[in-house]
Amino acid sequence: AQKVTQAQTEISVVEKEDVTLDCVYETRDTTYYLFWYKQPPSGELVFLIRRNSFDEQNEISGRYSWNFQKSTSSFNFTITASQVVDSAVYFCARSMDSNYQLIWGAGTKLIIKP
């Protein structure tokens, strides 16, 4: 199966540090989408970003940035100047060809200490 790997099970940093969450995916497709979701301690799953495989431009949204590198099949997520409210489990996912299903990574638990 074509996997999505989030090798970091848990990351703990002190507030205001920058932190990068890694995501590596496998695919034989030429067209696909990549996603990041956030699951805060309250439990809901929140969509953060979708990237098209044709668009390798990095994206920045406030303190969040995403680095997509097709050559290394990676889609990493960086939080700059982390805050306690960033504490959550973050999931990376990739689209499948059919039926709009997503292949999910196992998630990375991010702990931001005050």
Partner 1 sequence: DAGITQSPRYKITETGRQVTLMCHQTWSHSYMFWYRQDLGHGLRLIYYSAAADITDKGEVPDGYVVSRSKTENFPLTLESATRSQTSVYFCASSEYYEQYFGPGTRLTVT
Residue with tokens 């990739």: 94
Least CB distance to partner 1 at residue 89 (A): 9
Closest Cα to residue 20, out of 94, 106, 86? Answer: 86
Least CB distance to partner 1 at residue 34 (A): 10
Radius of gyration of the CA atoms of the chain, in A: 14
**Residue 28 or residue 114: which is nearer to partner 1 going by CB?**
28
**Residue 13 or residue 106: which is nearer to partner 1 going by CB?**
106
Q: What is the distance between the alpha carbons of residues 46 and 8, in angstroms, rounded to a whole number?
A: 20
Q: What is the dihedral of CA 79, 93, 72, 31, to 10 degrees?
A: -130
Least CB distance to partner 1 at residue 3 (A): 11
Chain center to CA of 62: 16
**Residue 1 or residue 114: which is nearer to partner 1 going by CB?**
1
**Residue 57 or residue 98: which is nearer to partner 1 going by CB?**
98
Q: Using CB under 8 A as the criterion, which residues of the chain lie in contact with partner 1 when the complex forms?
A: 33, 35, 43-47, 50, 91, 95, 99-102, 104-107
